């Protein structure tokens, strides 16, 4: 049993009257928030050549509940709110059983997606704020089954069948297929992975579904023990994803550079570009009162710099500065009045 408490404050240089920081799903308000009160209960698989059985259950309360909800659990089949109707809410991000060993294992239930670079849990991310590619471009969790095969210590394959994006029970339950291959050199100088998910998902046309496919390609380079560079490219399309019909596409590039300044201090830089061709992905969260609604057809850019300071083995402080700008149609920042903004955030999490 373990967990953490995560919270922070974000200052918006544009001072929007609504107090919402543009079309975000995370760090979306310029006021102090409790992001995650997170608890994990787990029996991990033993490192054995025999067969072992394990399980994991995650529970989260806080501002970030929005990132871990499922249709049919925290939301209704249609995606409308069920029990979370306030700024802070409760979610069950993971709940699965697992069987196998160090070479091959299978999990069944609810688990985080294997597609993409960033994730929901605070300790899994360097930055407090999330990239556009994580907030808007892909799934957060799945319900279904996933197999993992560690072919060698360097090469791993994963594959599974799930009920689409972020859904336990939806109006049209149809299977989606998720695959991932990952390779790491013995000295970790180079790591590479490619993951893809494809299946039928709801479209912009009521009561219809269409093929939606998303992939992520990630390359990491560690030239020294203190320096790391990560390149992430993502691409997705949705049949009938446009309100008037036609295929919607969204894609982009994220780049991360990390450097350890001291045993307790690590600096990071993130540059991202995301293109939402039809303005179908990036938008506010009306359930939480965010007035920055889509469509925002165009390109989103951001440059983020920050530091992780390990005040204690269980306490990490994460200040950051983020600059966003947009090239396209309607302005997405300062309640639709500007096409750029500056955010300054201070965040900390305590693990227990």
* pLDDT (tens digit per residue) in 161-178: 999 999 999 988 999 999
pLDDT number for residue 171: 86
Longest C-alpha distance within the chain, in Å? Answer: 61
pLDDT number for residue 208: 86
DSSP 131: P
Q: HSE of 60 in the Cβ direction (CA atoms, 13 Å)?
A: 26
pLDDT number for residue 206: 77
pLDDT number for residue 351: 97
Give the mean pLDDT of the chain: 94
pLDDT number for residue 284: 79
DSSP 82: S
Question: What backbone torsions phi and psi does residue 68 show, to the nearest 5 degrees?
Answer: -130, 20
pLDDT number for residue 204: 84
Q: Is the pLDDT of residue 80 over 90?
A: no
Residue-wise pLDDT for 126-140, tens only, equals: 999 999 999 999 999
Q: HSE of 272 in the Cβ direction (CA atoms, 13 Å)?
A: 27
**For residue 145, what are the contacts with CB-CB under 8 A and spacing of at least 6?**
106, 107, 108, 160, 161, 162
Residue-wise pLDDT for 144-154, tens only, equals: 999 999 999 99
CB 250 within 8 A of CB 276: yes
pLDDT number for residue 190: 96
The angle at the Cα of 254, spanning 250 to 258, to the nearest 5 degrees, equals: 165
Q: Is the pLDDT of residue 90 over 80?
A: yes
pLDDT number for residue 205: 82
pLDDT number for residue 34: 96
CA 93/CA 70 separation, integer angstroms: 8
Please count the residues of the chain.
Answer: 352
Percent residues over pLDDT 70 in the chain: 100
- What mean pLDDT is predicted for residues 59-75? 94
CA 100/CA 278 separation, integer angstroms: 44
- What mean pLDDT is predicted for residues 78-105? 92
Residue-wise pLDDT for 109-123, tens only, equals: 999 999 999 999 999
pLDDT number for residue 116: 96
Q: Give the confidence band of 81 by pLDDT, cuts at 50, 70, 90.
A: confident
Q: Is the pLDDT of residue 71 over 90?
A: yes
Domains of the chain in start order, with CATH, are 2-351 (2.40.160.10)
Task: Could you list the beta-strand ranges (E) of the chain.
Answer: 2-12, 33-43, 52-62, 89-100, 104-112, 141-150, 155-162, 176-184, 190-202, 209-221, 227-238, 248-262, 265-276, 298-312, 315-328, 340-351
Q: Is the pLDDT of residue 223 over 80?
A: yes
Q: Please state, in angstroms and as integers, the Cα–Cα distance from residue 94 to each residue in 90, 121, 183, 296, 351, following that order.
A: 13, 11, 25, 32, 18
Nearest to 179 by CA among 154, 148, 153, 209: 148
pLDDT number for residue 175: 95
Beta-bridge partners for 189: none
Residue-wise pLDDT for 263-321, tens only, equals: 999 999 999 999 999 999 998 777 777 888 888 999 999 999 999 999 999 999 999 99
């Amino acid at each position: 049993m373990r967990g953490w408490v995560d919270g922070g404050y974000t200052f918006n240089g544009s001072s929007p009257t609504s107090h919402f920081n543009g079309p975000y799903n995370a760090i979306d308000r310029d006021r102090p928030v409790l992001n995650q009160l997170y608890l994990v209960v787990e029996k991990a698989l033993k490192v054995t050549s025999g067969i072992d059985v394990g399980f994991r259950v995650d529970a989260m309360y806080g501002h970030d509940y929005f990132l871990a909800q499922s249709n049919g659990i925290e939301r209704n089949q249609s995606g409308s709110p069920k029990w979370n109707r306030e700024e802070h809410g409760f979610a069950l991000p993971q709940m699965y059983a697992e069987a196998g060993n160090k070479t091959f294992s299978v999990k069944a239930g609810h688990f985080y997606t294997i597609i993409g670079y960033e994730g929901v849990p605070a300790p899994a991310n360097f930055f407090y704020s999330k990239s556009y590619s994580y907030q808007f471009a892909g799934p957060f969790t799945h319900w279904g089954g996933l197999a993992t095969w560690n072919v060698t210590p360097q090469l791993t394959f994963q594959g599974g069948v799930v009920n689409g994006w972020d859904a336990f029970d939806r109006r049209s339950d149809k299977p989606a297929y998720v695959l991932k291959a990952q390779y790491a050199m013995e000295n970790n100088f180079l790591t590479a992975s490619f993951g893809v998910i494809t299946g039928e998902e709801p479209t912009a046309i009521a009561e219809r579904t269409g093929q939606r496919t998303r992939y992520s390609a990630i390359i990491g380079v560690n030239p020294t023990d203190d320096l790391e560079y990560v390149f992430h490219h993502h691409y997705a399309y949705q049949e009938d994803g446009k309100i008037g019909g036609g295929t919607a596409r969204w894609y982009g590039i994220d780049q991360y550079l990390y450097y350890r300044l001291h045993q307790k201090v690590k600096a990071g830089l993130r540059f991202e570009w995301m293109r939402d061709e039809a303005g179908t992905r990036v938008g506010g969260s009306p359930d939480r009162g965010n007035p920055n609604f889509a469509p925002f057809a165009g390109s989103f850019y951001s440059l983020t710099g920050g530091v992780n300071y390990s005040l204690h083995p269980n306490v990490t402080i994460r200040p950051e500065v983020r600059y966003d700008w947009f090239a396209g149609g309607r302005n997405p920042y300062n309640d639709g009045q500007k096409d750029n903004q500056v955010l300054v955030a201070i965040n900390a999490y305590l693990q227990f």
